[in-house]
Amino acid sequence: MHWIVDGNNLIHSDPQFRQRMEESGFEAARQLLENELSRLRGSDQTFEVVYDGGASMPQRSGVESSIARRGKVADDRVLALAREKGGAGVVRVVTDDRSDIGSRLGGSGFEWVSCSEFRKLVLEGGGGRKAKPREASDKPAAPRSKKQVDYWLQEFGVSAEEE
């Protein structure tokens, strides 16, 4: 199964990636997305993630990323990749831009998948692999960014000098 993912669209529409972007920036959200895809992918899955802009990042196992050329948008790159890969089995295109990308796909061998469906199918579903169940805990999750740490220190009235 080959997945082509509109990375900007997924990051902005998915709560987990959007939160990471708000806390630590877009590049951190990209890194989280690609790490998750690499970790969860099944042996018969590949992912190509296309972004509108940003810096190139090292490739991860089973995950390729690309950036739309200057003056172009990721939608055009997503469509070009889908048409290129279309003859080699089913290609699933992940985006919420159904009116643009989804309507321009056409033909057989393509499946349009919304970002929320992708979360259920791959990110929460473990990419087809059995995920280890998490144990319930009363302990809250640890802060994931300096911004969160600073927020909680301010909430509890602790200044940087008191630490």
Each residue's pLDDT tens digit, 50-68: 998 766 666 777 788 888 8
| Neighbouring residues of 58: CB distance < 8 A, sequence distance ≥ 6 | none
Domain ranges for the chain: 2-129+140-155
Mean pLDDT of 38-46: 83
20 pLDDT more than 90? yes
Torsion, Cα 28 99 82 88, to 10 degrees, reads 120
| Neighbouring residues of 126: CB distance < 8 A, sequence distance ≥ 6 | 40
pLDDT confidence of 22, banded at 50, 70, 90?
very high
Residue 111: φ, ψ to 5°: -130, 130
CATH class given for the domain over 2-129+140-155: alpha beta
Q: Where are the extended beta strands (E) located within the chain? A: 2-6, 46-51, 63-67, 91-94, 110-113
The per-residue pLDDT for 32 is 92
The DSSP output letter for 120 is I
